[in-house]
């Protein structure tokens, strides 16, 4: 790594605190604003001082998405992360009568979830700074994602998961060769332990929201959507939300395009949460975060303390976002409906965005362009999917047995 590259980066991007506007250079040590994050608050509140990446250079075209990222392209793996399809399943369009209903299918990322976008940038950043070890807490997908991307990059990954994480996500991470540690507690507990681990071991943390690059990496989805719509911004985007990092990334991508003069419009972003894990939507209504005990089948969006809660509220306010909350039953129904009308099997958290659309579609013009973000593959959590599936319990012995039954 040349000092020349280092200087160029410093000139082209920097961090800005989303609370106090403090400006900082992008370094592996800095995670939250050193001023805002140390103001005492009770332990059940989301962290303060989330850092945004600001682009200082001029970018004239959205064609090369790497131009928008604070790590040079040369440090990224040649791995097929992102560039996921944006398509209109014909039956879905027809049955719901929305002719511009698009699915952005991020379940097609290498490890099966949207989280690869963040892991990809964090891995490149570690590579650039010659850091070979990364740790994180996860409900499952961030962990299997970092484990997979880390495996491809030859980086050592230590992962903390709640013991309730779906087995597929644990198995996936172990297969990728990560050091997998389950904690006797929930995701929030795993988060705290992994932070402590990164501090004591002095290694890079990929904890979501805490590491600003996890937010920045997720913005690539919006840049892709803009390019896939021939430099147009859609009217609506439905985003399944737990910690609020994906939704913030979605906002950030469109906000970058506006800041650079490449577009003028911000879509209406719908923050979709599960009834049993609705901390952000509650805070949107009440103005403050209150303690909840998350309980939903959509494990990837099950969080007590949404780590990017404050940043999400700020974006929702600035760009007039919407919130919508759906029950577990609606999520399971949406999961089946989507599968049967598009061939897309989404995990419950991912089907949540579609459930949110089904809930509010009557208030949206049928001519509007609507994007449903599908964030994870259904095979990652079979146990939840099985809740409304009747497994075949009789096994036929001959074709005659089958055909005679149908009479």
Q: Which residues bind ligand PLP (CB under 6 A)?
A: 113-115, 141, 208, 240-247, 300-301, 347, 349-350, 375-376
> CB neighbours (10 Å) of residue 124?
25
Shortest distance (Å) from residue 187 CB to ligand PLP: 10
Integer-rounded Cα radius of gyration of the chain: 21
Nearer to ligand PLP, 48 or 128 (CB): 48
Nearer to ligand PLP, 75 or 146 (CB): 146
Shortest distance (Å) from residue 248 CB to ligand PLP: 7
Nearer to ligand PLP, 137 or 266 (CB): 137
Shortest distance (Å) from residue 323 CB to ligand PLP: 13
> CB neighbours (10 Å) of residue 175?
12
Burial class (CB in 10 A: 0-12, 13-18, 19+), 274: buried
Shortest distance (Å) from residue 110 CB to ligand PLP: 14
For the four alpha carbons of 298, 226, 32 and 325, in that order, the dihedral sign comes to: negative
Nearer to ligand PLP, 224 or 278 (CB): 278
Nearer to ligand PLP, 70 or 244 (CB): 244
- 226 and 257 Cβ atoms separated by less than 8 Å: yes
Nearer to ligand PLP, 69 or 346 (CB): 346
Distance (Å, rounded) from C-alpha 246 to C-alpha 141?
13
Residue (of 122, 115, 20, 108) closest to 71 by Cα position: 122
Nearer to ligand PLP, 387 or 403 (CB): 387
Residue (of 314, 263, 279) closest to 187 by Cα position: 279
Shortest distance (Å) from residue 251 CB to ligand PLP: 12
Shortest distance (Å) from residue 61 CB to ligand PLP: 28
Sheet of strand 156-162, all strands in order from the earlier edge strand to the far edge: 179-183, 156-162, 133-137, 204-205
Which pairs from 105-109 meet CB under 8 Å and 24+ separation? 105/344, 105/374, 106/221, 106/350, 106/373, 106/374, 106/375, 106/376, 107/344, 107/345, 107/346, 107/347, 107/350, 107/374, 107/375, 107/376, 107/377, 107/378, 108/84, 109/81, 109/82, 109/84, 109/145
Shortest distance (Å) from residue 242 CB to ligand PLP: 3
Residue nearest to ligand PLP (CB): 376
Nearer to ligand PLP, 247 or 294 (CB): 247
Shortest distance (Å) from residue 178 CB to ligand PLP: 16
Residue 228, CA atoms < 13 Å, CB-side half-sphere:
20
Shortest distance (Å) from residue 241 CB to ligand PLP: 4
For the four alpha carbons of 382, 384, 388 and 390, in that order, the dihedral sign comes to: positive
Nearer to ligand PLP, 247 or 331 (CB): 247
């Amino acid at each position: 790594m040349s000092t020349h590259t280092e200087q160029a980066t410093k000139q082209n991007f920097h961090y800005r605190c989303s609370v106090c506007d403090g400006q900082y250079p992008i370094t592996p040590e800095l995670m939250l604003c050193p001023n805002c994050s140390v103001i005492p608050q009770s332990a059940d509140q989301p962290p303060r001082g989330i850092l945004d990446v600001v682009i200082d250079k001029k970018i004239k075209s959205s064609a090369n998405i790497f131009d928008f990222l604070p790590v040079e392209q040369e440090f990224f793996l040649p791995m097929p992360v992102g560039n996921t399809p944006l398509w209109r399943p014909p039956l879905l369009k027809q049955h719901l009568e929305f002719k511009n209903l698009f699915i952005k299918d991020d379940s097609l990322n290498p490890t099966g979830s949207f989280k690869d976008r963040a892991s990809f940038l964090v891995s490149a950043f570690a590579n650039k700074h010659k850091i070979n070890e990364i740790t994180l807490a996860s409900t499952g997908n961030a962990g299997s994602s970092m484990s997979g991307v880390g495996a491809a990059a030859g980086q050592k990954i230590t992962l903390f998961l709640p013991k309730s994480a779906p087995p597929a996500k644990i198995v996936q991470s172990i297969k990728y060769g990560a050091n997998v540690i389950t904690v006797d507690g929930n995701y929030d507990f795993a988060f705290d332990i992994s932070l402590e681990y990164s501090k004591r071991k002095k290694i890079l943390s990929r904890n979501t929201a805490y590491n600003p690059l996890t937010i920045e990496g997720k913005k690539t989805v919006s840049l892709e959507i803009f390019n896939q719509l021939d430099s147009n911004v859609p009217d609506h985007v439905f985003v399944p939300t737990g910690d609020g990092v994906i939704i913030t990334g979605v906002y950030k991508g469109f906000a970058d395009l506006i800041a650079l003069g490449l577009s003028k419009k911000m879509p209406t972003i719908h923050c979709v949460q599960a009834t049993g894990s609705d901390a952000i939507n509650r805070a949107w209504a009440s103005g403050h975060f209150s303690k909840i005990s998350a309980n939903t089948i959509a494990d990837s969006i099950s969080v007590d303390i949404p780590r990017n809660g404050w940043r999400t509220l700020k974006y929702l306010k600035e760009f007039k976002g919407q919130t919508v909350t759906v029950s577990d039953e609606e999520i399971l129904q949406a999961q089946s409906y989507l599968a049967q009308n598009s061939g897309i099997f989404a995990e419950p958290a991912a089907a949540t965005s579609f459930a949110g659309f089904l809930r509010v579609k009557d208030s949206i013009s049928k001519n509007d362009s609507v994007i449903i973000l599908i964030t994870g593959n259904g095979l990652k959590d079979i146990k939840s999917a099985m809740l409304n599936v009747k497994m075949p319990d009789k096994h036929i012995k001959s074709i005659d047995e089958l055909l005679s039954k149908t009479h």
